Amino acid sequence: MPAYLSLSPVDLRKRAIEARDILKCCTLCPKQCRVDMLAIERGVFFMVGDTGLEPVTSAV
């Protein structure tokens, strides 16, 4: 059984809010790019390069 199913509704909501906050200023991967993942088009990812943020499309 997934662990989140054992959380109380209050704890589950708190974790969902925390996850959205992380995605608003994304630091999930080692690049720590701080891109607002909630504002970009689905299937577009960013790579940090010498010239700044460059969009990279995905087949998702």
In the chain, domain spans: 3-57
Q: Which of 47, 48, 46, 44 is nearest to 57 (CA)?
A: 44
Name the pLDDT band for 6 (thresholds 50, 70, 90): very high
Strand partners, 5: none
Q: Compute the distance between CA of residue 8 and CA of residue 57 in angstroms, rounded to an integer.
A: 37
Per residue in 9-58, pLDDT (tens digit) is 999 999 999 999 988 888 887 777 788 888 876 666 655 554 455 555 55
Query: How much is the pLDDT for 18?
Result: 93
Contact criterion met (CB below 8 Å) for 46 and 33: yes
Q: Which residue has the higher pLDDT, 54 or 2?
A: 2
